[in-house]
Amino acid sequence: MRIHREGTGTILIALALSGSLLFGIWKWSLLPPPLQVGLSAVVVLLLLIVVYFFREPERRPPDTQGLVLAPADGRVVAIERVKEGEYLGDERIQVSIFMSPLNVHVNWYPVAGEVSYFKYHPGRYLVAWHPKSSTDNERTTVVVRTPEHGEVLFRQIAGALARRICTYSRPGDEVGAGTEFGFIKFGSRVDVFLPLHAQVSVGIGDRVQGARSVIAEFPSR
């Protein structure tokens, strides 16, 4: 288990703050020793939570031929037929995965192909499960053109706690399914917009793992 590079700055700040607090508790505080021990334990626990949030597990995706992998760890909160209006301009099957602050927050490509579109949208910070979060919140949109099944669009959406979305995709990139494309700090959501012929293999409430769980399959042609 590694620490993701996006966590370096945050962890250093957390270490500095924790060290200052611990020094103050033991050097200047007039609290009795039992309370000093309790406060110190809380400070250390919060530091460990910050470090744990930025964990980066090693994932080995399965054979991805004809499969769509989960782009994130979390819980499936929406499966619906929608009109995608930003780029594709047609009807799609939307599968949405909510990432709690306790989930791994690395994001992975759900399919292999060439990145054909990328755009960052500044916005609000509604809770990630809010119906308007996919259009009003800070978000990024990435589209990958697959060799056999056309374009698949997926969107990183900031939540009420998220304040930074990191995306490494650029148009023209050749990418593999299950390889990393970004990171979202704290609570958030990822939407995937699939062609109508895709067969969804998850249900509402299912918990999935990014780069491992299959969320849909493309029928053989």
Q: Catalytic positions, please?
A: 188
The phi and psi torsions of 165 (rounded to 5 degrees) equal -105, 130
Who contacts 38 (Cβ-Cβ below 8 Å, separation ≥6)?
A: none
The phi and psi torsions of 76 (rounded to 5 degrees) equal -70, 120
Amino acid at 205: G
Q: Tell me how far apart the alpha carbons of residues 58 and 148 are, in angstroms, rounded to a whole number.
A: 28
Identify the bridge partners of residue 119 per DSSP, sorted by sequence position: 141
Closest CA to 54 of 189, 184, 178: 184
% helix, strand, coil for the chain, step of 5:
20, 40, 40
169: its two tokens: 């995709």
Closest CA to 156 of 172, 143, 145: 143
Closest CA to 210 of 183, 174, 172, 171: 183
Are the CB atoms for 193 and 110 separated by under 8 Å? no
Are the CB atoms for 71 and 107 separated by under 8 Å? yes
CA torsion, ordered 196, 198, 202, 208, to nearest 10 deg:
-110
